[in-house]
Amino acid sequence: MFLKKYVSKHDDKVFVDELMAIFTKDGDL
């Protein structure tokens, strides 16, 4: 998943957590 690569690159866990919450809410996972 591209988000995982983004996380390991930027270590922006909070930001990604928010994104994941939005994605899962939209049922895009």
Helix-helix angle 13-26:2-10, to 10 degrees: 160
pLDDT value of residue 16: 76
Instruction: Give the pTM.
Output: 0.38
User: For residues 16 and 7, is the Cβ–Cβ distance under 8 A?
Assistant: yes
**Each residue's pLDDT tens digit, 1-29:** 566 666 566 566 777 788 888 888 776 65
Cα–Cα distance between 3 and 13 in angstroms, integer?
10
